[in-house]
Amino acid sequence: MDRGGSAHQPHRILERVQENPKTVSLVLEGSLACSPGQFAMLWLPGIDEKPFSIAGNDPLMFTVSRVGTFSAALQALCPGETLWVRGPFGRGFTLAPGNTLLVGGGYGAAPLAFLAAALRTACPRAKVEAALGARTSVDLLFVRQFDALGVAVQLATEDGTRGSAGLVTEIVASRLATEEFSRVRACGPEAMLEAVAELSRGAGVDAELSFEAYMRCGVGLCGACEHRGRLMCLDGPVLMMAHDGS
């Protein structure tokens, strides 16, 4: 019953990796017991505190895309500086055997790379493939990481600068049509998730989708993150499609 305190822990930044022009990964000193798909609240004293997917847990890593004030402040951190982490929170992806298609859009690729690594250990015989989408070539993330894990990657860019031209969901449709996959795991913009949900339902595969929401407490109390009746910080951020049809 005693969870111990989950108050902010300071972590020194070991490495700052510029993944692409608007995305930076921060590799931190220390680790965090958690599962892929869970998130943590990142705090910069005097600035703000917001949720970020855990992109790796040993060492702890987060991947931040520049959107507004807070993501910019995070990206401005340098090795040796400190980032405060509260978590992990929420429900992550299930690690289940069976061939799995990972579908990532934008920085959604980060938790999926973490998931791919975890699946490699937990279910070594499962075939794991990734389909990643972005607007343009430079926006694609973690392609090398998936390669290094032996995960075949199919790419889609809206402007056709890399991989197939168009949306990642087109890849998903064709991969699911092969009937090789029994599971889909997706993280990315809401529109992409909706499309993936639809395709998974059609193909009758088990899908888990990671959603974003506006978060305050991060621990299931305040109600700020409610999304279609679910608290995304408690019931999510990963929702099982099979059960709720979203």
Ligand X SMILES: Cc1cc2nc3c(=O)[nH]c(=O)nc-3n(C[C@H](O)[C@H](O)[C@H](O)COP(=O)(O)OP(=O)(O)OC[C@H]3O[C@@H](n4cnc5c(N)ncnc54)[C@H](O)[C@@H]3O)c2cc1C
Ligand Y SMILES: Cc1cc2nc3c(=O)[nH]c(=O)nc-3n(C[C@H](O)[C@H](O)[C@H](O)COP(=O)(O)O)c2cc1C
Per CB under 6 A, residues contacting ligand FES are 215-218, 220-225, 231, 233
Is residue 62 within 8 Å of residue 25, measured between CB atoms?
yes
Contacts with ligand Y, residue ranges (CB under 6 A): 217, 221-222
Among 95, 96, 173, 213, binds ligand X (CB under 6 A): 213
The closest alpha carbon to 19, from 135, 146, 140, 102, belongs to: 140
* Shortest distance, position 201 Cβ to ligand X, whole Å: 23
Q: Quick check: 68 binds ligand X (CB under 6 A)? A: yes
- Say how many CA atoms lie within 13 Å of 159 toward its Cβ: 7
Among 19, 129, 208, 212, binds ligand X (CB under 6 A): 212
* Shortest distance, position 204 Cβ to ligand FES, whole Å: 31
Q: Quick check: 31 binds another protein (CB under 8 A)? A: no
User: Measuring CA to CA, how many Å separate 88 from each of 51, 68, 239?
Assistant: 10, 23, 17
Q: At what angle do helices 190-203 and 168-177 cross, to 10 degrees?
A: 10
Binds 110: which of another protein, ligand Y, ligand X, none (CB < 5-8 Å by kind): ligand X
Where would I find the beta strands (DSSP E) of 54-151? 56-57, 60-65, 82-89, 100-105, 128-134
**Which residues are bridge partners to 65 per DSSP?**
23
C-alpha–C-alpha distance, residues 78 and 96, integer Å: 37
- Of 11-19, 27-35, 65-73, 149-157, the window that binds ligand X (rule: CB under 6 A) is 65-73
C-alpha–C-alpha distance, residues 193 and 237, integer Å: 12
Is residue 131 within 8 Å of residue 103, measured between CB atoms?
yes
Among 23, 116, 235, 241, binds another protein (CB under 8 A): 235
Residue nearest to ligand X (CB): 68
* Shortest distance, position 206 Cβ to another protein, whole Å: 22
* Shortest distance, position 127 Cβ to ligand X, whole Å: 26
Binding stretches for another protein (CB under 8 A): 1, 3-8, 10, 12-13, 41, 43-50, 69-70, 72-73, 75-78, 80-84, 86, 216-224, 226, 229, 231, 234-235
